[in-house]
Amino acid sequence: NSLLKEIDFYLVTDSGLSKKGTLSDVKESVEAGCKIIQYREKDKSTKEMIDEASEIKRICGDRAIFLVNDRIDVALAVDADGVHIGQDDMPIETARKLLGADKIIGLTVHNVDEAVEAEKKGADYVGLGSIFDTSTKKDAGKGIGPARIREVKNAIKVPVVAIGGINKENCRSVVENGADSLVAISAVVCSDDVKKETREFIDIIKEIKNSSSP
């Protein structure tokens, strides 16, 4: 999927935090130019997840990559573009076998060693985190700091997506340290205007990428 080379702001859905609901968040974010959506849902039935995922796939169309968090069954059922898996999910080798060579698989990593291992095992990108201290959900706890992004970036060729405690204030340091893309869940889905927030993140990321490229 060639869109993977163009990703900047990366939306992860969160129905628990969302103000207007997952489908609205996806729609507004894609309209604002977001090129990658990860559907993360832990509390709904498989049937509800498949229904919602198939709506998200329709919204994304060929404008944005559509990944499903953890649930390879849901990804297969709606023919998503791929999955994002963490350390508590299906092993990447098994996921690759079930999804085939063409699907995108992103893997959560916490350091250089895990990133190198992920690339070796066929990850199409890595989600690196937590960058900053965070108190929410997965990868909670102490942040590794933005300087670590550069180390990881230097060690692998696949895109590095930064995640964890990122907001509009600290996101500059993340991109300046080499992140190809970043996730900022609460900064976006807790907002009244997901479209505007997404747009602003994209603008900041693009500005820094353009000024730092040769």
Binding interface with a copy of itself (CB under 8 A): 45-48, 50, 70-74, 76-77, 87-91, 94, 98
Cα dist. 29→13, 93, 98 in Å? 10, 31, 29
Between CA 125 and CA 190 the distance in angstroms is 26
Nearer to a copy of itself, 94 or 212 (CB): 94
Minimum distance between the CB of residue 102 and a copy of itself, rounded to whole angstroms? 17
Q: Name the segment binding Ni ion (CB under 5 A); options: 13-21, 57-65, 66-74, 136-144.
A: 136-144
Q: Applying CB under 5 A, does 70 fall inside the site for Ni ion?
A: no
Who's near 54: CB < 8 A, 6+ residues apart? 77, 78
Find the helix or strand (DSSP H, E) in which 82 lies: strand 82-85
From the list a copy of itself, Ni ion, none, pick the one residue 200 interacts with, judged by a Cβ distance below 5 to 8 Å according to partner type.
none
Minimum distance between the CB of residue 101 and Ni ion, rounded to whole angstroms? 26
Nearer to a copy of itself, 1 or 87 (CB): 87
Buried b (16+ CB within 10 A) or exposed e, 159-179: bbbbbbbbeeebbebbbebbb
Letter for the amino acid at 41? Answer: E
From the list a copy of itself, Ni ion, none, pick the one residue 73 interacts with, judged by a Cβ distance below 5 to 8 Å according to partner type.
a copy of itself
In sequence order, the β-bridge partners of residue 84 are: 69, 106
From the list Ni ion, a copy of itself, none, pick the one residue 212 interacts with, judged by a Cβ distance below 5 to 8 Å according to partner type.
none
| Cis preceding linkage at 130, omega within 30 | yes
Q: Applying CB under 5 A, does 139 fall inside the site for Ni ion?
A: yes
Minimum distance between the CB of residue 120 and Ni ion, rounded to whole angstroms? 19
Nearer to a copy of itself, 98 or 147 (CB): 98
Minimum distance between the CB of residue 85 and a copy of itself, rounded to whole angstroms? 8
Cα dist. 58→85, 107, 199 in Å? 22, 24, 21
Positions touching Ni ion (CB under 5 A) are 139
